[in-house]
Amino acid sequence: MNPTKEIDPHGDVIAILPTTSTKFRVSSIVLSLASPVLRAMLFRGGVTLASAKALRLVEVEFPDGSPQALEAIFNVLHFRHDCVGANASYDILYEIALVVDKYDLKAVRPWGEVWLRGAGGGGGGKRLFATYVFGDREGFRKECQRAILQSHGYDCGLNGGSEKGKETEVEEENDWDSNLVPTRVLGKIYTSPSDATCNYS
């Protein structure tokens, strides 16, 4: 059994993940300041859930987040920046982006630039969604262009142009799954190969 990871040793919330044994002790005040969604979850009648229930600690489920993603996010929000790595795989970056998007965690967005830079090339649909969530307009535009061209049979190298039907050594790395990207984000992509771009707003 994994012990509770104390992001804030004085926190009043135990964040639990139903599918794992991982738990995090965090502050409801910090989370509520970072997210209007979490504020609605953690406060009742202007007081914290723990206070409302006369408890020192209250457990709150985070069913959609992976342990690695939530730990990174909680560390950022609690100013434990020395505990946050600059490099993350696109799998983890995608999981972080899902949580940031769901809970409207704009306070995490500045770290998105660091993670995207550290992740390097490739990433497909996971990178496209991450660039959107973290507000990387230029990165999102490029990923939209890549997605559109690939959907029309072009293989897009990371370092240059595109040629229809041409095999490239990075083809597998660039392939992307539209199921990874929410419909509202896909709707911002123009689908004509002659206008391979997107609308971020």
- Is 23 a residue whose pLDDT tops 80? yes
pTM above the 0.75 mark?
yes
Residue 98 belongs to some domain of the structure: no
Residue 146 belongs to some domain of the structure: no
- Is 2 a residue whose pLDDT tops 50? yes
Alpha helices in the chain (DSSP H): 28-34, 36-42, 49-52, 67-77, 90-103, 109-119, 124-133, 137-151, 171-174, 183-186
Residue 121 belongs to some domain of the structure: no
CA dihedral 188, 191, 196, 201 (to 10 degrees): -10
- Is 193 a residue whose pLDDT tops 70? no
Give the pLDDT confidence score for residue 38 in this predicted structure: 93
Average pLDDT for residues 137-162, to the nearest whole number?
69
Residue 149 belongs to some domain of the structure: no
Residue 142 belongs to some domain of the structure: no
In this structure, are strands 58-61 and 47-48 parallel, antiparallel, or unpaired?
unpaired
Residue 113 belongs to some domain of the structure: no
Mean pLDDT across the chain, nearest whole number? 80
Q: pLDDT (tens digit, 9 = 90+) per residue, 32-82? A: 999 999 998 888 766 676 665 666 788 899 988 899 999 999 999 999 999
Q: Which strand (E) or helix (H) includes residue 57?
A: none
Q: Which domain holds residue 41?
A: 1-85
Average pLDDT for residues 94-123, to the nearest whole number?
90
3-state SS assignment for residue 38: helix
Q: How many domains does the chain have?
A: 1
Domain of residue 16, CATH code: 3.30.710
Residue 28 belongs to some domain of the structure: yes
Both tokens of residue 65?
């987040």
Give the pLDDT confidence score for residue 57 in this predicted structure: 84
Q: Which strand (E) or helix (H) includes residue 24?
A: strand 23-26
Residue 9 belongs to some domain of the structure: yes
